[in-house]
């Protein structure tokens, strides 16, 4: 009987000490991984996002480390498959990540006091172009080749890419402004803040997209609800004019004021705009 009593004592000891896996609740992560779509060269993205991870580390009292993805596809995969816990995503990247898994939007950015932005088709101030239809056969300037929302907004305005005489990707908005002002391009697409800054300074706005939701910080599936809420509150508390969180906000983007509440339905307008491109990209069945 002695071996039985010894075995029973061992089982009781394991149960009461919490050693048996069945008796212990899943623990919270000991550290968080913060990912991002590559929107700039790695050194620049590291400089922009590292202050955000430092702010969250202090606010959450747990390590938050940065993992930069080389492209949008990798950032989406890492978040949707759980290799990153959080990610700073473009609107299109968020929609695609959400399609891949139960990604939770935490907050969206506020830019110059606005919770939405518009993409604007612009022409030179003295251009004879007055309507979208007048762009047929003309030379058009886009920014980043990976910025699908720019192309989707142009198509949504009523002209297909095939109807342009020529279009090129110039990288940055400032290049688009220079291209339109110089006459190298008949029109181009700009973010509203850039278009409004140049309006009356040689640039005229021809068309504005519907209000679009901005960049979002999202979380992977499986994080505890209490942890998600703490993260959300820490981000909502961040403000550009705050001495503690301000350096992180200003490093992320000089035009950001902070973050605000977000809902998945905010991105339905993006889903509608990119739907023709997503359908075209699917392989034939």
Mean pLDDT of the chain: 88
Distance CA 136, CA 187 (A): 11
Q: What is the mean pLDDT of residues 201-219?
A: 97
pLDDT given at position 72: 82
- According to CATH, where is 3.40.190.10 located in the chain? 32-112+213-267, 119-208
Determine which of 20-29, 44-53, 276-285 has the lowest per-residue pLDDT on average. Answer: 20-29
Superfamily name and number for 119-208: Periplasmic binding protein-like II (3.40.190.10)
3-class SS string, the chain:
CHHHHHHHHHHHHHHHHCCCHHHCCCCCCCCEEEEECCCCCHHHHHHHHHHHHHHHHHHHCCCEEEEECCCHHHHHHHHHCCCCCEEEECHHHHHHHHHHCCCEEEEEEEECCECCECEEEEEECCCCCCCHHHHCCCEEEECCCCCHHHHHHHHHHCCCHHHCCEEEECCCHHHHHHHHHHCCCCEEEEEHHHHHHHECCCEEEEEECCCECCCEEEECCCCCHHHHHHHHHHHHCCECCCCCCHHHHHHHCCCEEEEECCCHHHHHHHHHHHHHHHHHHCCCC
Counting residues of the chain whose pLDDT is more than 90, the rounded percentage is 76
- Which strands form 203-208's sheet, in the order they lie side by side? 166-169, 139-142, 187-191, 119-124, 203-208
> 144 falls in which pLDDT band (50, 70, 90)?
confident
Predicted local distance difference test score (pLDDT) of residue 20:
37
Give tens-digit pLDDT for 217-269: 999 999 999 999 999 999 999 999 999 999 999 999 999 999 999 999 999 99
| pTM of the predicted structure, to 2 decimals | 0.81
- Residue 202 burial (CB count, 10 A): 14
CATH placement of domain 32-112+213-267: 3.40.190.10
Rounded to an integer, the average pLDDT of 164-180 is 95
Average the pLDDT over 50-54 and give the result: 97
């Amino acid at each position: 009987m002695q071996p039985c009593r010894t075995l029973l004592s061992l089982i009781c000891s394991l149960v009461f000490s919490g050693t048996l896996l069945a008796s212990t609740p899943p623990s919270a992560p000991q550290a968080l991984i913060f990912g991002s779509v590559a929107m700039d060269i790695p050194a620049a993205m590291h400089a922009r996002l590292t202050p955000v991870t430092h702010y969250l580390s202090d606010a959450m009292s747990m390590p938050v480390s940065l993992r930069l993805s080389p492209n949008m596809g990798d950032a989406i995969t890492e978040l949707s498959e759980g290799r990153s816990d959080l990610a700073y995503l473009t609107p299109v990247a968020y929609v695609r990540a959400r399609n891949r898994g139960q990604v939770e939007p935490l907050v969206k950015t506020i830019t110059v006091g606005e919770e939405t932005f518009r993409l604007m088709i612009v022409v030179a101030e003295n251009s004879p172009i007055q309507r979208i239809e007048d762009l047929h056969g003309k030379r058009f300037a886009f920014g980043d080749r990976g910025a699908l929302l720019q192309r989707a907004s142009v198509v949504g305005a009523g002209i297909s890419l095939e109807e342009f005489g020529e279009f090129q990707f110039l990288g940055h908005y400032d290049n688009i402004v220079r291209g339109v002002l110089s006459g190298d391009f008949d029109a181009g697409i700009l973010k509203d803040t850039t278009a409004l800054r140049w309006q009356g300074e040689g640039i005229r706005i021809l068309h504005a997209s519907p209000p679009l939701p901005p960049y979002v910080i999202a979380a992977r599936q499986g994080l505890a609800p209490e942890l998600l809420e703490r993260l959300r509150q820490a981000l909502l508390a961040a403000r550009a004019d705050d001495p503690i969180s301000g350096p992180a906000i200003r490093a992320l983007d000089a035009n950001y004021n902070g973050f605000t509440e977000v809902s998945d339905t905010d991105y339905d307008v993006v889903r509608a705009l990119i739907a023709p491109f997503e359908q075209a990209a699917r392989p034939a069945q």
